[in-house]
């Protein structure tokens, strides 16, 4: 598990140097009193701290989680950039989650050892019993012990698979710089992927499309809601159509990379959902974007994400 912590720390270092969102989204200038990611991290750390095995089985993960949470709290108190705070909160939460997974794996291993011990005891008892009765009794108990051993082995395998899946997902999302929001995981593609007033993707967008397509191939149950957004310049109907065409361009690029179209839903939202003021060039640039909402593992979207789609059809 030290390799897991080392891997996570390496990705944490990557986060710090990467800065804010990949395609030009500006960082907040003030630090809000309540940061959802920080509260989630604190809850995860508290869950790990409350586990009786945390200080023995997952001591390094607990220490790393506490350190990251302390850094996030200090940064919030000192008015640091919100993305930096979110990053430290993410690191704290992941350390805590991995610590719980380590404990789960250790418990599964202990169950496996206990099952093996029970099976050995059954075999020893069988040799001391009357021949026929001993054989029947031994077989029955041996079967029970084997079943317990298989169940314990299955639990351990599931824990290992869960850790591997969580690490792979964290790596993929960190490379794309997806952000957790109330609408789910959201990847923001800035207007630098398009020429001004155009809906054709530039050549420079290929790397982003390749990464997104690879993520979808590695997570076949997930779907994407591709939202096009514009600033408020120009006619509202023109903006809505341009946003729809840009969302469709991203969708088509993914289809060309082998992603089935039924896993992609493009929608044009025009100027309805600005993320910055349209009174300045910088604010308008932030509003000209495509947001890719990543579904839950079962392919569903949060209600808040679905509401935008419904509103766009009306």
The CATH number of the domain where 209 resides is what? 3.30.1330.60
Q: Does residue 135 share a domain with residue 219?
A: no
Q: Does residue 39 share a domain with residue 122?
A: yes
Q: Which domain holds residue 101?
A: 2-173
Q: CB 202: neighbour CB atoms within 10 A?
A: 11
Contact predicate 265/201, CB 8 Å:
no
Per-residue pLDDT of the chain (314 residues; tens, 9 = 90+): 444 455 445 544 444 343 333 333 333 445 667 899 999 999 999 999 999 999 999 999 999 999 999 999 999 999 999 999 999 999 999 999 999 999 999 999 989 999 989 888 888 888 877 788 878 888 888 888 888 778 877 767 766 654 665 455 555 565 567 888 888 899 988 766 777 778 888 887 888 899 999 999 999 999 999 999 999 988 999 999 999 999 999 999 999 999 999 999 999 999 999 999 999 999 998 999 999 999 999 999 999 888 877 766 65
Q: Does residue 166 share a domain with residue 194?
A: no
**pLDDT for the residue numbered 18:** 38
How far apart are alpha carbons 28 and 45 in whole angstroms? Answer: 26
Q: Does residue 204 share a domain with residue 91?
A: no
**pLDDT for the residue numbered 135:** 83
Among candidate residues 173, 195, 215, the one where a domain is terminated: 173
Rounded to two decimals, the pTM is 0.47
Q: Does residue 148 share a domain with residue 41?
A: yes
DSSP, residue by residue, 180-228: EETTEEEEEEEGGGB-TT--SBPGGGHHHHHHHHHHHHH-TT--EEEEE
Q: Does residue 197 share a domain with residue 124?
A: no
Among candidate residues 152, 173, 194, the one where a domain is terminated: 173
**pLDDT for the residue numbered 172:** 56
Q: Does residue 92 share a domain with residue 216?
A: no
Q: Does residue 160 share a domain with residue 11?
A: yes
Q: What is the pLDDT of residues 103-145, one digit of tens each?
A: 999 999 989 999 989 888 888 888 877 788 878 888 888 888 8
**pLDDT for the residue numbered 56:** 92
Q: What is the pLDDT of residues 235-252, one digit of tens each?
A: 999 999 999 999 999 999
Structure tokens at 291: 């947001």
**pLDDT for the residue numbered 173:** 62
Buried b (16+ CB within 10 A) or exposed e, 214-243: ebbeebeebbbbbbbbbbbeeeeeebbbbb
**pLDDT for the residue numbered 22:** 33
Q: Does residue 26 share a domain with residue 114?
A: yes
Among candidate residues 148, 173, 198, the one where a domain is terminated: 173
**pLDDT for the residue numbered 40:** 95
Q: Does residue 215 share a domain with residue 192?
A: yes
**pLDDT for the residue numbered 20:** 32
Q: CB 170: neighbour CB atoms within 10 A?
A: 17
What's the N-to-C CA distance of the chain in angstroms? 51
Q: Does residue 156 share a domain with residue 32?
A: yes
How far apart are alpha carbons 79 and 32 in whole angstroms? Answer: 9
How many independent structural domains does the chain possess? 2
Non-local (6+) Cβ contacts of 53 within 8 A are: 103, 106, 107
Structure tokens at 210: 């390749």
Alpha helices in the chain (DSSP H): 2-18, 36-50, 54-57, 59-77, 82-128, 131-176, 206-218, 236-256, 281-287, 303-313
What residues are paired with 229 via a beta bridge?
289
Buried b (16+ CB within 10 A) or exposed e, 3-31: ebbeebeebbeebeeeeebbbbbeeeeeb
Contact predicate 44/66, CB 8 Å:
no
Q: Residue 184: which of 93, 266, 293, 264 has the closest Cα?
A: 293
Chain length of the chain: 314
Q: Does residue 168 share a domain with residue 34?
A: yes
**pLDDT for the residue numbered 226:** 95
Q: Residue 272: which of 240, 304, 241 has the closest Cα?
A: 240
Structure tokens at 19: 């800065």
Contact predicate 284/233, CB 8 Å:
yes
């Amino acid at each position: 598990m030290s390799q897991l912590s080392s891997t996570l720390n390496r990705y944490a270092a990557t986060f710090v140097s990467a800065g804010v969102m990949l395609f030009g989204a500006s960082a907040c200038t003030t630090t809000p009193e309540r940061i959802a990611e920080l509260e989630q991290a604190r809850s995860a750390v508290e869950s790990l701290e409350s586990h009786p095995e945390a200080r023995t089985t997952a001591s390094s993960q607990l220490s790393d989680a506490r350190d990251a949470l302390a850094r996030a709290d200090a940064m919030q108190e000192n008015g640091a950039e919100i993305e930096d705070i979110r990053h430290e909160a993410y690191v704290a939460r992941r350390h805590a989650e991995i610590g719980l997974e380590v404990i789960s794996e250790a418990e599964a291993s202990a169950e496996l050892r206990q099952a093996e011990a029970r099976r050995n005891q059954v075999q020893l008892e069988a040799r001391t019993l009357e021949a026929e009765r001993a054989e029947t009794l031994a077989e029955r108990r041996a079967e029970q012990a084997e079943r317990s051993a298989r169940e314990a082995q299955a639990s351990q395998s599931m824990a290992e698979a869960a850790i591997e899946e969580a690490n792979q997902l964290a790596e993929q999302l960190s490379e794309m710089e997806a952000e957790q929001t109330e609408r789910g995981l959201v990847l923001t593609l800035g207007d630098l992927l398009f020429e001004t007033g155009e809906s054709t993707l530039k050549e420079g967008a290929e790397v982003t499309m390749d990464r997104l397509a690879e993520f979808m191939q590695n997570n076949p149950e997930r779907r994407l809601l591709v939202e096009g957004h514009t600033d408020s310049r120009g006619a509202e109907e023109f903006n809505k159509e341009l946003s729809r065409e840009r969302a469709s361009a991203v969708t088509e690029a993914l289809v060309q990379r082998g992603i089935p179209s039924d896993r992609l839903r493009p929608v044009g939202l025009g100027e309805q959902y600005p993320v910055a003021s349209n009174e300045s060039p910088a604010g308008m640039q932030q509003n000209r974007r495509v947001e890719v909402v990543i579904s839950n593992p079962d392919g569903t979207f949060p209600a808040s994400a679905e509401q935008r789609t419904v509103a766009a059809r009306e």
